[in-house]
Structure 1
Amino acid sequence: MTPAITESAMFTGLRAFLLAVAPSGAEVVQGLGNRVPMPAAGTLVVMTELRREQMAQTTHAYRPDDDKEDIARSTAVHFQLDVYGETAGDTAQVITNLLRDAWGVDFLAPHNIAPLYATDPVSMPLIAGEMQYVQRRVISIALHANLIVTVPAEFADNLITTLVEVT
């Protein structure tokens, strides 16, 4: 069984947003890749999922027409965005502003996710393999998703009753 909104779909929606707001030619990649060098792009955004947090109890929607039941869980999916490059500060500010605005909500709606919050960017430069400082801004964000799992279900659409005389 797979949720209606998969992890891959959430990354795809977030990546589309980031590509739309980052400078032309920026690279946006999913984090935690091992033994992969940093891309040579001027601006790089790395998306890393941190955790999922249940926001409400599960709900059930019954679909007797196709013998299914949808079990939904309102979830906050937390990400860390690492923005690298000479324009990291400006790019991070654009990301934060637009995730806090209706523009970001409208952009992400077709992907069935919505921004909940974005922290202010934090400067966290690092030393690259060439022993040079690399500009980096870190943003924590949360996206809302209704994670729906569909399961088989049985329904009764006809009831046959008989009377039994009790003595």
Structure 2
Amino acid sequence: MDPKSYVLADGRNDDSDSDQEIEIALQSGLIDGKQFMIKAQKRELINKVEDIKQKLSQIKSNGAWIKTVAVTASKELIFDQDIDNDFEREALFYKQAQDGARQAIANLKQLNIPFARPADYFAEMVKSDSHMHRVRNVLLNKQKEKGRRDTVRRLRTEKKFATKVQKETESQQRE
């Protein structure tokens, strides 16, 4: 049983009692506070620059581009303008994405790797056909209901207009 969830018969939580007991024991000298203190361990900083550079060069030279598919944006697409200009920043993100896609396509063409899906390719669908038929039926029913409401609204306005025209013709005939 979790000691934090343990409740005494009189409704008090045992956790608060143990804290009080420890405080009393510390004050009376029955226990020393050394066992309750947590010492922060100081770790020695490790900065092996040569090893890091060696590993980086190993990563760069290890394997073909297709294993990582890493693309870096061109240097002219670095954002160095006003950081509060959200529109310019978003436009630059878009340009960086386009540039990256162009670089990746060029690399794939150079490696003779097809990157476009063939016209006769059929992918496995996430949703089943029966589910998609139900979704289609729901959408068609909504569209039919909207059309019916529009027709009823149009007929109502036509009827009002016809009544208005009829009253005007009757009033003109009386005069």
TM-score where L is the length of structure 1: 0.18
Report the TM-score when normalising by structure 2: 0.18
Decide which structure has greater helix share.
Answer: 2
1 or 2 for the larger relative contact order (CA 8 Å, sep ≥6)? 1
Higher Cα Rg: structure 1 or 2? 2
The structure with more strand, counted as a fraction of residues: 1
